[in-house]
Chain A
Amino acid sequence: DGGITQSPKYLFRKEGQNVTLSCEQNLNHDAMYWYRQDPGQGLRLIYYSQIVNDFQKGDIAEGYSVSREKKESFPLTVTSAQKNPTAFYLCASSISRASTEAFFGQGTRLTVV
C-alpha cells in the first residue's frame, strides 16, 4: 500500500539530546513537509522540501534541521537548541508544490524530560 510513514509513534528523550524523527513515503511525491502541532496553535510549518537535495525554512525552523538525500525520505532532527521540543510532529507529502492534496503521516509525539 502506498502511503507516508512516520516513526516512532512515541519518542522520549532527555533534555539536551538531539533526536531524529523519521518520515518515509512511497507515493513518488516530490514535495515533503514537517509541521509541529501544539494545543491551540494549529499546525506550524518547520521545514519543507520541493525536490531532492533542496529544502526551505518554514515559520519555526530554529532548533531544527532536515535533509533530503532521497526522494522517499525527509528526516527531521530536533536539536538541543530547540527551547521547547515537546510536541506532536506531523510529516506530509504532495505531488508538487501546486498539488491538490497533501497526504499526512500518523505523527510522532515527542516528549523531552
Chain B
Amino acid sequence: AQTVTQSQPEMSVQEAETVTLSCTYDTSESNYYLFWYKQPPSRQMILVIRQEAYKQQNATENRFSVNFQKAAKSFSLKISDSQLGDTAMYFCAFMGTNQAGTALIFGKGTTLSVSS
C-alpha cells in the first residue's frame, strides 16, 4: 500500500524568506502523480503544484517549486519570497496510475506560519 509521510508538523518563516517542506512516499508503482495542496484557515483545499513521476524536470508554479527525487521517493516543496497569505496547512499527496481503484492518498500535513 502507498504511504505518504510529512515529518514536519509545524514550521515558521518570516516574510520574504524561503522555506522548504518535506515529503517522502512509498510505492511500488513506476508511474504516478504527486501533489502539494494548501489548506488555509477557510479549510478550502487548493492545489499548489503537481508532478508526474515520469517527468524528470521539477515542476514550478511562480514562487512554488518542487524537488522531486524519484529514487529516494522524496518530494519537497520550496516556497520562495514567503508571503503572509502563504500561512496554511500544506498536504503532500500521492495518486497511483497502475492499480484499479487508486485514490488520492495524503500525508498528515505541515502547518506553515508566515510572520511579518
Q: Chain A residues in contact with chain B, CB under 8 A?
A: 31, 33, 35, 40-45, 48, 50, 56, 58, 88, 90, 92, 94, 97-102, 104, 106-107
Q: Which of B9, B101, B106, B107 contacts A48 (CB 8 A)?
A: B101
Please report the C-alpha to C-alpha distance between residue A99 and residue B97 in the assembled complex, in whole angstroms. 9
Number of A-B contacts (CB under 8 A): 58
Q: Is B11 on the interface with A (CB-CB < 8 A)?
A: no
**Residue contact B105 to A101, C-beta cutoff 8 Å:** no
Chain B interface main SS type: loop
| The 6 A-B residue pairs with the shortest CB-CB distance in the complex, in nearest-first order | A42-B108, A104-B45, A43-B106, A48-B103, A98-B97, A56-B101
CB-CB under 8 A for A40 and B108, given A45-B103, A50-B101, A100-B50: yes
**Residue contact B108 to A41, C-beta cutoff 8 Å:** yes
Q: Which of A43, A48, A88, A101 contacts B47 (CB 8 A)?
A: A101
- A-chain residues with CB within 8 Å of residue B9 when the two chains form the complex: 40
Nearest residue (CB) in A for B31 is A98
Q: Is B75 on the interface with A (CB-CB < 8 A)?
A: no
- A-chain residues with CB within 8 Å of residue B102 when the two chains form the complex: 97-98
Please report the C-alpha to C-alpha distance between residue A35 and residue B91 in the assembled complex, in whole angstroms. 13
Please report the C-alpha to C-alpha distance between residue A28 and residue B17 in the assembled complex, in whole angstroms. 41
Q: Is B95 on the interface with A (CB-CB < 8 A)?
A: yes
**Residue contact A45 to B105, C-beta cutoff 8 Å:** yes
Q: Which of A31, A42, A99, A107 contacts B107 (CB 8 A)?
A: A42
Q: Which of B35, B95, B103, B109 contacts A42 (CB 8 A)?
A: B109
Q: Is B64 on the interface with A (CB-CB < 8 A)?
A: no
7 new A-B contacts at CB < 8 Å, known A97-B97, A101-B50, A106-B44: A33-B104, A40-B108, A42-B106, A42-B109, A48-B101, A98-B97, A101-B47
